[in-house]
Copies of this chain bind each other. A is one copy, B any other.
Amino acid sequence: MTKEALLLTIAVLGGTGKEGKGLAYRWAKAGYRVLIGSRSSEKAVKAASEIMELLEGSSSVVGTTNPEAAEQADIIVLTVPYSAHRETLESVKSALKGKILVDVTAPLVPPKLSKVQMPPAGSAAQEAKEILGEEVQVVTAFQNVSHEYLMGEEDVECDVLVTGTSKKARVEVLMLVEATGLTGWDAGPIENSVVVEGLASVLININRLYGSKHAGIRITGVPNQAIEST
**Copies of this subunit:** 2
Interface check A201, CB cutoff 8 A? yes
Given contact pairs A195-B202, A201-B188, A202-B161, A216 touches B220 in the complex (Cβ within 8 A)? yes
162-221 of chain A: CB within 8 A of chain B: 185-189, 191-192, 194-196, 198-199, 201-203, 205-207, 209-221
Interface range on chain A (Cβ under 8 Å from partner): 35 or more
Interface check A225, CB cutoff 8 A? yes
Q: Which residues of B have CB within 8 Å of A211?
A: 224
Nearest first, the 5 closest Cβ-Cβ pairs linking A and B are A188-B205, A195-B198, A212-B222, A214-B221, A157-B220
Can you report 24 A-B residue pairs in the complex whose CB atoms are below 8 A from each other?
Answer: A115-B189, A115-B192, A116-B192, A116-B194, A146-B221, A158-B220, A161-B202, A186-B205, A186-B206, A186-B209, A192-B198, A194-B194, A194-B195, A194-B198, A195-B199, A206-B219, A207-B222, A210-B222, A210-B225, A215-B221, A215-B222, A216-B220, A217-B218, A218-B218
A residues apposed to B, CB below 8 Å = 114-118, 146, 157-158, 161, 185-189, 191-192, 194-196, 198-199, 201-203, 205-207, 209-227
